Every structure is written in C-alpha cells, then in structure tokens.
Chain A
Amino acid sequence: QVQLVQSGAEVKKPGASVKVSCKASGYTFTSYDINWVRQATGQGLEWMGWMNPNSGNTGYAQKFQGRVTMTRNTSISTAYMELSSLRSEDTAVYYCARGDGYSLAVDYWGQGTLVTVSS
C-alpha cells in the first residue's frame, strides 16, 4: 500500500532552517509528484509547492519563493522540504502528499511533521 512516512517533530529558533523528509513506499517514487502542504494549529491547509521526483523540477507558491527548497534522493525514495529564515508564523504541521499527474489529485498524505519556531 502507498505510504509516506515523514521525519519527526522539530523545534527551531527564529532565523534557523528546518529540513523535513518524506519517505515513500508502495509505489514507484519517480512516477508521481510530491506536494508539500502546511497547517498552522487550528487553521486550514496551505499549499507550499511541488516537486517532480523524476526530473527534480519544482514549483513553489509565491509566498515561499526564496525560502523553500524541495529536493529528493531517488535511491532511497525520499523527498525533502527545507524552509529557511524561520519565523514564529512558520510554526505548523507540514505534510508531504503524493500528486497524481493524470487526475492532478493530491491523493496520499504523510502523517505530518510538527515544526515549532520559538526563541
């Protein structure tokens, strides 16, 4: 079965960077996009960007341009999302989610990684 398993919770200071990993299994990693979506506590879902694991091509929401980098290691079927210059407003649960290139559905989601930014 399709699974996306994310790395554990992180606590960072303002100005630091965080790198969240997302290990895929149960399907061919390079055949589906990986999206990243975040959710602040008690708030809605916010799409951050996507990556094509085959080509490495990425697309980021304008809000995160210059601060976010999405990469992958195909040998271990793992995607990464790094967010820099962290501020308190970046405190949220970060989800990776598989994107179906045909239906454009974001279909399977990871369990989420809580990133807390606090001095």
Chain B
Amino acid sequence: DIVMTQTPLSLSVTPGQPASISCKSSQSLLHSDGKTYLYWYLQKPGQSPQLLIYEVSNRFSGVPDRFSGSGSGTDFTLKISRVEAEDVGVYYCMQSIQLPRTFGQGTKVEIK
C-alpha cells in the first residue's frame, strides 16, 4: 500500500496569516496518463470530509481561491494564503493512483 505522510500534524495559525501543509507519498503518484492522483480534503468539526483540491492543483467547485495545491511525484503541498476562522479542521491528503486509496494521518489546523 502507498503510505501518505503529512507534516505537521497540527498547526496553530493567526487569522489572515498563511499556512502550509506537506504530504509525501511512498511512491510516485504520477500515472502514465500524465495525471498525478493526489487530493486534499478538509474535515470541519462534526462534518464529513469535503474535497478541496483534485489532481494536485485543481480547486473543486466552490473552493475559495485562498486554497492552492502544488507538487509533483512524491512531494505535495497545500497552501492557504490567508487563513480564516472557517478553515479550522483536519486536512487530509489522499492518493488514488493505486488501490487501496490511502490517506495521510491528517493535519489539525486551529486558529490562535
């Protein structure tokens, strides 16, 4: 199984400041079709996970542009340009290049 490793595991951010989360995979997520199957989710307190980013850098429908994704191969980053109070929760990366789909351990983001 592909192991997804996130850092840090927790983050305390002042509103309006940027935040960054790293995700590393144990194998390359670049498929022979040219796509890289890496996704980012946010699980707000008491809610189901919601898709933020698909295929490394594409924002899902309705996701604010303060969220951005980057990376390639095995190293990926989610950035929030200016954190808002509504961004609190646990962020997960996930890979879909190989079954079983696997998730990172999660990064808990809180507001200072």
List residues of chain A with CB under 8 Å of any chain B CB: 35, 37, 44-47, 49-50, 59, 61-62, 95, 97, 100, 103-112
State the Cβ distance, A20 to closest chain B Cβ, in Å: 14
User: Given the known A-B contacts A45-B92, A104-B37, are A109 and B49 also in contact in the complex, defined by CB atoms under 8 Å?
Assistant: yes
User: In the complex the two chains form, is B48's CB within 8 Å of A111's CB?
Assistant: yes
B49–A105 CB distance below 8 A: no
20 of the cross-chain contacts (CB-CB < 8 Å) are A44-B92, A44-B105, A45-B49, A45-B92, A45-B106, A46-B103, A47-B101, A50-B99, A95-B48, A103-B35, A103-B54, A103-B58, A105-B54, A105-B55, A105-B96, A106-B94, A109-B49, A110-B48, A111-B48, A112-B48
Residue of A35, A47, A100, A111 ringed by the most chain B CB atoms within 10 A: A47
Task: Tell me the dominant secondary structure on chain A's binding face.
Answer: strand
Rounded to whole Å, the gap between the CB of A63 and the closest CB of chain B is 8
Which A residues are in CB contact (< 8 Å) with B106?
A: 44-45
- Give Cα distance in the complex from A45 to B49, angstroms: 9
What 0/1 pattern do residues 46 to 74 of B give for CB contact below 8 A with A?
A: 00111100110010100000000000000
Q: Could you say which residues of chain B place their CB within 8 Å of the CB of A37?
A: 49
Q: Which of chain B's residues have a CB closer than 8 A to the CB of A111?
A: 48
* Residues of B in contact with A (beta carbons under 8 Å apart): 35, 37, 39, 41, 43, 48-51, 54-55, 58, 60, 92, 94, 96-97, 99-106
**Are A106 and B101 in contact, with the CB atoms below 8 A?**
yes
For A99, the closest partner residue in chain B by CB is B96
A105 & B51 in contact (Cβ 8 Å cutoff): yes
Q: A61 to chain B: closest CB distance in Å?
A: 4
A-B pairs with lowest CB-CB distance, top 7: A104-B96, A109-B48, A105-B54, A61-B100, A47-B101, A45-B103, A107-B51
